[in-house]
Amino acid sequence: MAWTDERIDQLKTMWEKGMTASQIADELGGVSRNAVIGKAHRLGLQSRPSPVKDKEGKAPAPKKAAPPPRRAEPAPAPVQHTPKPAAPAPQAAPKPAPAPAGTAPLAPRDPSEPVLRSIGPGGFLRQGPGDQQAPIPPAPPRRLVPAKPSADIAGKTTLLDLNDRICKWPLGHPGEPDFHFCGDPVNPGFPYCVAHCGHAYQAQLPRRDRRPPPPMPFGGPRVR
């Protein structure tokens, strides 16, 4: 079975809908679950909750050691028949002594220990598992006030002032503090005022009368 545009589309839709690869393969027919997964990845679809792969930043408690190469790899250096080293080191990190009987079963957290918690969208702290009350937002709410425009462009036509009735001819260069736009009333039907239309639109001359273009002002367009 070939991956026609139509079948690819079905795959995308079903995948994004949350169907499992098996279901999709079943629905499409003629392909295996693996084929569906392989295709999905090749299409760039990806990162659906996988049972085996979504761990990151969690307590690294590897049950098994580092994953060995699955395919035959160059064999490790031949092991000499040396005497086996001693048994692995004992306790790497001794646990703190258990709380003495009588203290609260739910031991309060050591304040000196930094608390790791995730940051939600917008920078808000997320509720931790043991938290009894909502964490305090990082910054107290304040009224948001528009930033004061730079004095350099006071009274000038900025990007935000542009509309279809004023001349959009740029004066200065983007990024410069006094960059602004002409702002005069437009020549009706054009984006510029009459004067700047004269710059923007030139009569088409007969080919033989064309002059080579004059050098650009200020040494030409800026290159960063």
Partner DNA sequence: CCCTGATTCGC
Partner DNA sequence: GCGAATCAGG
CB nearer DNA, residue 66 or residue 104: 66
> In whole angstroms, how far apart are CA 211 and each of 45, 95, 201, 214?
54, 86, 16, 8
Residues numbered 112-141 forming contacts with DNA, rule: CB under 7 A: none
| DSSP category for residue 102 | T
CB nearer DNA, residue 70 or residue 148: 70
Smallest distance, DNA to C-beta of residue 187, A: 51
Smallest distance, DNA to C-beta of residue 41, A: 5
**Cβ neighbours of residue 185 closer than 8 Å, sequence gap 6 or more:** 165, 166, 167, 193
CB nearer DNA, residue 26 or residue 176: 26
CB nearer DNA, residue 56 or residue 110: 56
Q: What would the x/- binding string for DNA be over residues 36 to 75, using CB under 7 A?
A: -xxxxxx---xxxxxxxx---------xx--xxxxx----
> In whole angstroms, how far apart are CA 145 and each of 5, 19, 38, 151, 218?
50, 46, 50, 17, 38
CB nearer DNA, residue 15 or residue 169: 15
Residue 142 binding DNA, by CB under 7 A: no
Smallest distance, DNA to C-beta of residue 75, A: 15
In a 10 Å sphere around its CB, with 0-12 CB exposed, 13-18 middle and 19+ buried, how is residue 36 labelled?
buried
Q: Binder to DNA among 9, 27, 32, 198 (CB under 7 A)?
A: 32
Whole-number Å distance between alpha carbons of 112 and 108: 12
Token pair 């079975």: residue:
1
Residue 173 binding DNA, by CB under 7 A: no
Query: How many CA within 13 A on the CB side of residue 208?
Result: 0
Whole-number Å distance between alpha carbons of 65 and 34: 27
Residue 95 binding DNA, by CB under 7 A: no
Smallest distance, DNA to C-beta of residue 118, A: 18
Q: How many amino acids of this chain bind DNA (CB under 7 A)?
A: 33
* Residue ranges in contact with DNA by CB under 7 A: 1-3, 20-23, 31-35, 37-42, 46-53, 63-64, 67-71
